[in-house]
Amino acid sequence: MVVLEDRLTEAVRIRLESDVPMGVLLSGGVDSSVVTAVAAPIVENLRTFHVTFEGAPSEARFARMVAELAGAEHHELSVRTDPLSDFSHLTRWIDEPVADPSVFPTYYICREARRHVTVCLTGLGGDELFRGYPWLQDRRAIDIWFGLPGPIRKGIYPLSERLGGPLASISTDLRKYEELQYQTLNSRERCVARLEHYPLESLPMMPEAPAPNQTLSRIMDHVKDDSDARDYLTVKSILPNDYLHKDDRLSMANSLELRSPLLDHVLAPLCLRFPGSLKSQRGISKYILKKFAVHRLGLPHNAVYRKKVGFALPLEGLHKEMLPEVESLNRDLRFLHLHQLAKLTSSRASHENSGRVFAILMLLRWCADNGINASSRAG
């Protein structure tokens, strides 16, 4: 833990060097809280920024708690969001479509923070280095579900859908795993399945679609241990192709520079070499980082050891609004086959279905803004 503390302190210190106003994007989660606590003794008049959004889970009280302990000048900014209207702003800057709804809060946070500072530190990298994502953990609940007899599972699906609400959403998501025969997949195949909005066999819904992409599986083939393979996947694929990509584009769109101490070129390899027992233990993710946060940095136990809150707008609430946009755009672009479009637009709001609709809408909106349609692709 001493080695972790020394290297992390140096990584933060280096990234606090600046000739312009700077601060920390403080979500209230473990990673940004650790960066804030480490930065506080190094720089005078530390400024922290927390942005809340309508309809999204709030970690504001934890951010305030950490900022107060750090003695920071805390800015809590409330943003009214209009995602459908803002799609064109995002697709203009993002360079390529990214099927990640956290593009919205990322854009809003950078926009608001830039009104006060020019550079901000972030906690990006903590989930990748310390096995913080829920899908990297053992999904015992899913295993228990598939331990039930098939007739019972099939009887519960329609019942939960009739009841509606969260049960219907969970039922829809479980149906995806049922179709994929999730219980027969190995650990690596399950990891890939959780990350895909569309099963590989459904990709031909796009006219002239390429062969199914096996990139995720090929990445994990470089590592023998299944747990290490999943960690390797996040660092080699998801981090550069999603999180770093959108953070870079959307911060620069707002003339804000983001710096990520946890991805320091010395610190990151050190963390990746930690054994799995230090990353996840007794059901606790980010085990060593959380121990460090509480015992070395003095962060509150209830702020550190709590359920992870996702960094995204709740897509289920936008499900019905997104569907007419998909139909309208596809009418002009002719990207989706009609039978697949009908299947998509008749879907019920759920984490999985709404994520699929968002992914298609992002693709169609990006193509429309860049003058790409089925005819231009064929040419």
Q: What was the pLDDT predicted at 58?
A: 82
Vertex 95: Cα angle to 238 and 240 (nearest 5): 20
- Cβ contacts of 236 within 8 Å, gap of 6 or more: 219
Cα–Cα dist 266/8, whole Å? 9
- Cβ contacts of 77 within 8 Å, gap of 6 or more: 49, 50, 51, 52, 112
CB-CB contact of 230 with 191 (8 Å)? yes
Q: What was the pLDDT predicted at 195?
A: 66
How large is the C-alpha radius of gyration of the chain? Answer: 22
Q: What was the pLDDT predicted at 201?
A: 47
pTM of model > 0.85: no
Q: What was the pLDDT predicted at 189?
A: 72
CB-CB contact of 128 with 238 (8 Å)? yes
Domains of the chain: residue spans and CATH: 2-134+228-304 (3.40.50.620), 315-379 (no CATH)
Q: What was the pLDDT predicted at 162?
A: 66
Q: What was the pLDDT predicted at 207?
A: 46
Q: What was the pLDDT predicted at 324?
A: 93
Pairing of strands 22-25, 47-53: parallel
CB-CB contact of 280 with 137 (8 Å)? yes
Place of tokens 């995602």: 83
CA distances to 136, 178, 254, 296 from 41, in Å: 33, 51, 29, 13
* Extended beta strands in the chain, E state: 22-25, 47-53, 73-79, 119-121, 257-259, 280-281, 284-285
pLDDT tens string for the chain (379 positions)?
789 999 999 999 999 999 998 999 999 999 999 999 999 999 988 999 998 877 677 889 999 999 999 999 999 988 777 888 888 888 888 888 888 888 888 998 899 899 999 999 999 999 999 988 766 555 666 777 788 888 888 888 777 766 666 666 677 667 777 777 777 777 777 776 666 655 544 444 444 444 444 666 676 777 777 677 777 778 888 899 889 999 999 999 999 999 999 999 999 999 988 998 898 888 788 999 999 999 999 999 999 998 877 777 778 888 999 999 999 998 888 877 777 788 888 888 877 788 889 988 998 898 888 887 655 554 4
Alpha-carbon 294 to chain mean position: 25
What DSSP line would sit under 252-308, residue for residue? HTTT-EEE-GGG-TTHHHHHHTS-HHHHEETTEETHHHHHHHHHTT---HHHHSS--
Give me the count of residues in the chain. Answer: 379
